[in-house]
Amino acid sequence: MVLSLRKRFLLRLSLLGVTSIVLLYVASFALVQPRMIAGETRSAHANLDRITHLLDSRMSHLNVITRDWAQWDMSVEFVGGRMPTYPAVNFSEAMLKDAQQTLMVFFDQRQQVRWVVGIDPSTGQYTSCEGGKGACAWSLELVRLIDRHLSSQPPRSESWLLSSPMPAIVATSPILTTDARGPTRGWLGIVQLLDESWQEQAKTQTGLQLSIRAVPKAYPGRMTVTPHSTTIKRDASDKMTVTRLIKASPESAYLAITAILPRTDYQGGIRALFGVTATLAIIFILTLISVAVLLERLIIKPMHTLGTYTQTLRHQEDRFYPLPESLLSRDDEIGLLARDVQRLINEERTRNVTLLHQTRTDELTGLANRRQFEECLQKALEQARTAETPLCVLMIDIDFFKGYNDHFGHPEGDQCLRMVGDLMQSCFAGGDELAARTGGEEFMVLLPNTALEPARQRAEGLMRELGERRIPHPGSRVSKYLTLSIGLSILKPGTERSPKDLIKAADIALYAAKTNGRNRVVTEHGFRPSLNDQ
């Protein structure tokens, strides 16, 4: 059988194409898969870091709670045997459950068990016993481990992990008077189990299915154990199991944090690899069929159009140019590619807008952050110089906010910051005015084209608005309600000042407001009595 030159050419070109595609796939797989595995490994470590950071945060929180109990004068009286009503007044099953605590142990000055209160993990029964005896016998091993730890450590507040008899967080603290002076009057230990309930809460916070268990150091069939060593088992194509070992007490075992992670990126990479290869194969076949007549019309010209579009887009990133309809309306691979490119461009633009918003906005209050404030201040200064108009800056601080946090807790403190932010947003929302959160409880306001007296009145109006809300603040030493201290600086028409100078002047005025009693507005040019003093 004699084959025509065209057929021979097409046959050999087809064989070359098939071979090229196979080699391309093999080479791509050999190059891409290790990178996907490496990326998957980095993701596994990052997820374990999230769990570890959550565990560290819970340990710190329990340590703070334990120290607060231990540095309470009533606790000092109790371990000294001078307050017999202390357990009945302060201990209850609801209290332990609300705090997610399993055990509280009070030791006296001689490190003898004074009182044990807790919930038996095996029965769920609440017990409260003097000396840890009787119904509290279930806690003896935990009490013994806490006692041993106290004997081997200096008298300080600390939290640590327990692997046996059950995974748990333990916080211990010497019992001292509120001012933390004088000798140690006793010790307090609080235990929080890392049980299924805790793990479910961690899953809710991290979105990861995890478990925590004790692993003996002599555990067979594993890698050499070191603290924070991590193992990754790719059990299937759709999931993997990652485990990290953390030091715990007693030293004969570690705590193993295990999480089951989906292999979404890996599967997506494999599918993308297959998709790219399949697309190349289809394009190659179409190219063979239309090598002479359709080459220019179907491939060269559209690809040239797409290349020209991407070059135009790269040089003019600030403007939006849609892909030509001739590409988007095509129903072949180039059309699919064009629509994918258009979709990716749209997604990238959306991500950029979102990212820009996040980098310029305070996450907690929704106000501008320091970066956006400084940018707007620079622009406002330039406009004020050109137009010869005044410009005022307010620096605002919530009075005794630490006391508010200490009394109500950080969640309520965050809610307070959001409320103040909403109030500032409503009070300073006109024109080019800008309210920003620039620190923990520190806010700043930009008032373009505003003279000193109107700016002072606006600041006092904010204080009145807050005062009318009568938000209780037991931790304040200036009022029983939440108050503000405000410092004000100004750029007068025809003068020159830098953004740094304006901010520093407002800061100095704020310091003066705090020094002179708080709950007041002070300008850089003079002192103004408190609203409550007028």
Give all strands (DSSP E) within 6-125, no chain letters: 103-107, 113-119
User: Is residue 356 classed as helix, strand or coil in its secondary structure?
Assistant: helix
* Separation CA 482–CA 485 (nearest Å): 11
* Rounded distance between C-alpha atoms, residue 255 and residue 214, angstroms: 5
CA distance 251 to 43: 30
CB-CB neighbours of 116 under 10 Å: 27
CB 518 within 8 A of CB 397: no
Report yes or no: 224 and 210 within 8 Å, Cβ to Cβ: no
Q: How many CA atoms lie within 13 A of 300 on its CB side?
A: 8
Per DSSP, the three-state class of 69 is helix
Pairing label, strands 484-491, 521-523: parallel
- The CA distance from 507 to 145, in Å, is 51
Chain centroid to CA 350: how far?
22
Tokens of 498: 């830098």
Distance, C-alpha 389 to centroid of its chain:
41
DSSP structure class, residue 249: B
Q: Which sequence positions are flagged as catalytic?
A: 441
Q: What is the full DSSP assignment across 384-443?
A: HHHHT--EEEEEEEETTHHHHHHHH-HHHHHHHHHHHHHHHHHHS-STT-EEEE-SSSEE
Q: Which residues fall within 8 angstroms of residue 137, CB to CB, at 6 or more apart? A: none
C-alpha span between 161 and 123 (Å, rounded): 23
526-527 vs 521-523, strand pairing mode: antiparallel
Per the DSSP assignment, residues forming a β-bridge with 246 are 255
User: Which tokens go with 255?
Assistant: 């705590």
What residues does 392 pair with on adjacent strands?
447, 490
DSSP-assigned letter for residue 135: G
